Structure 1
């Protein structure tokens, strides 16, 4: 195969043409970084967290596709993924994932020891998530933890270079944990929407998902999960004095959540997938409210 064709396969493996995945990770991470820094975090930390988010999400795609290759061939939406179709070998996919993870770890090394501790925690959960779908009734909750690791990392990074590994947990304030809990709710909301798209296929192959576990209460669970995210992030933002700009962002997020309810209430594949695919805008408006709130203080 020509080098251009091979590159296209690798880009498809890491979902390069579908940036919604890493945007879902990026907005809450950057929101936490702004809150932890009391505003602008500086170019170094901004570059570390943006690049690290993209790299780790891409590495996670490699790991997930290898772990799920035998299941994905039975799902119409995923049957043509490069590893599942055999266009990229397991060894090649894992090799790329390892390189991407090492690059992300290199970025963590430019911060402090506490951030490095959280980097290892995040890697462990990233490796565990694909297999959680075989044994855990709510694997989306495991994904929620993986997608929230950037929040405690942000609070540790904002402390400067001298934060030791022993303070990896104590450096995260109480409201930082509330942000993490709220973000877990958001991940549960949008990944349940995603799981609703494949529910029929997942039932046939024996995959466990929140859409299957919640059953007829799936739509209600999604909306309560959105509410958890919106309420907790609004509480933390108001606690830090961000005022009207943050509340405007929160109101925009709530309006989007209501729109998503209209998309998923009939449980059509198209509606559920559209709601999932556009979720990054919900996270963006909350982040924008935080940035503008600090800018106007």
Structure 2
């Protein structure tokens, strides 16, 4: 957020949407969180990592662009569906009451129409891949449309998000090679623990609100045990991604760069204060750096075979 931007709840005002977008489009751009791109990056990086893991030696640039477009629209679709499902909860919480649906800027019917439009764009992107990747992508919809309900059922909705949000760890390999193998499966497992790490940090912003409206999270489940739990999650993540790289036969440059990524995760833990919401948000966003570091590690591993 730049110096001129202000927040109403979690909605940035006076940013690029207010400066550049037509007034009628603004609520929809906010509904898909286009002014808060960190979620798109976290959805995209497992796709690009998986492509890099499968590449020989460079991931296909056209597919990287397709995954970027798909990540924007599918993250937007996921946010739209989540806000449709959570509209009553969001209206009760100060941080989320200004969102387009609870504030009345977008009606439920309009949100559903917008959701369908985003899904159609996502389908067009998916149809650009091979048949195996297409059917694999279709299978992910079961995870996407059940995730918003998990916070009502379990204290670990972050685990379901881990299965959902990092599905690209399978898709990138499938798009490049038309199959699956142990390497992308191990990468997917590693990304699952990455999600537990970063989304538990994010969830600590909402502990009081979650208690108020009666929803669950890993932040509530872990409480003061968060730091050691995250240390375990991040270590397992790095071990599994390292195993994926070993199975894929990556070269020596992969390993020191993988450790740089691990060092960044440990730096996050050193900075973490679960009672400081702005810091939790900053640390959550810093996982974009982990994404870039590991993408470089995987490509360097291919080039140093």
User: Structure 1: 5+ residue runs without aligned partners?
Assistant: 161-170
Contact 2:38 2:288 in 1 (8 A): yes
1:229 aligns to 2:247 (yes or no): no
1:90 aligns to 2:104 (yes or no): no
Give the one of 99, 113, 116 matched to 2:117: 99
Contact 1:118 1:149 in 2 (8 A): no
Within-5 A mapping of 1:113-192: 113-160=131-178, 171-192=179-200
Give the one of 72, 87, 99 matched to 1:54: 72
Distance in 2 between residues matched to 1:74 and 1:277, nearest whole Å: 26
> Deviation of residue 135 (structure 1)?
0.8
The residue aligned with 1:205 is 213
> Deviation of residue 238 (structure 1)?
3.7
Deviations 1:247-270 (A, max 9, x none): 232222122112211222453212
Q: Give the secondary-structure state (helix, strand or coil) at the position aligned to 1:198.
A: helix
Give the one of 257, 260, 266 matched to 1:258: 266
Contact 2:264 2:290 in 1 (8 A): yes
The residue aligned with 2:94 is 76
Give the one of 10, 31, 41 matched to 1:23: 41
**TM-score of the two chains, using structure 2 as the length reference:** 0.87
Contact 2:182 2:244 in 1 (8 A): no
User: Structure 2: 5+ residue runs without aligned partners?
Assistant: 1-20
Deviations 1:227-264 (A, max 9, x none): 12111112222443434432232222122112211222
Contact 1:263 1:272 in 2 (8 A): no
Distance in 2 between residues matched to 1:52 and 1:90, nearest whole Å: 24
Q: Give the secondary-structure state (helix, strand or coil) at the position aligned to 1:134.
A: coil
Deviations 1:26-59 (A, max 9, x none): 1121010121233323233222222112211111
Number of equivalent positions: 285
Give the one of 290, 293, 296 matched to 1:282: 290
The residue aligned with 2:6 is none
Contact 2:38 2:285 in 1 (8 A): yes
The residue aligned with 1:42 is 60
Distance in 2 between residues matched to 1:101 and 1:134, nearest whole Å: 25
Distance in 1 between residues matched to 2:297 and 2:140, nearest whole Å: 27
**TM-score of the two chains, using structure 1 as the length reference:** 0.90
The residue aligned with 1:66 is 84
Change (3 A) 1:239 1:114: closer
Q: Give the secondary-structure state (helix, strand or coil) at the position aligned to 1:158.
A: helix
Distance in 1 between residues matched to 2:300 and 2:157, nearest whole Å: 35
Contact 2:272 2:283 in 1 (8 A): yes
The residue aligned with 2:301 is 293
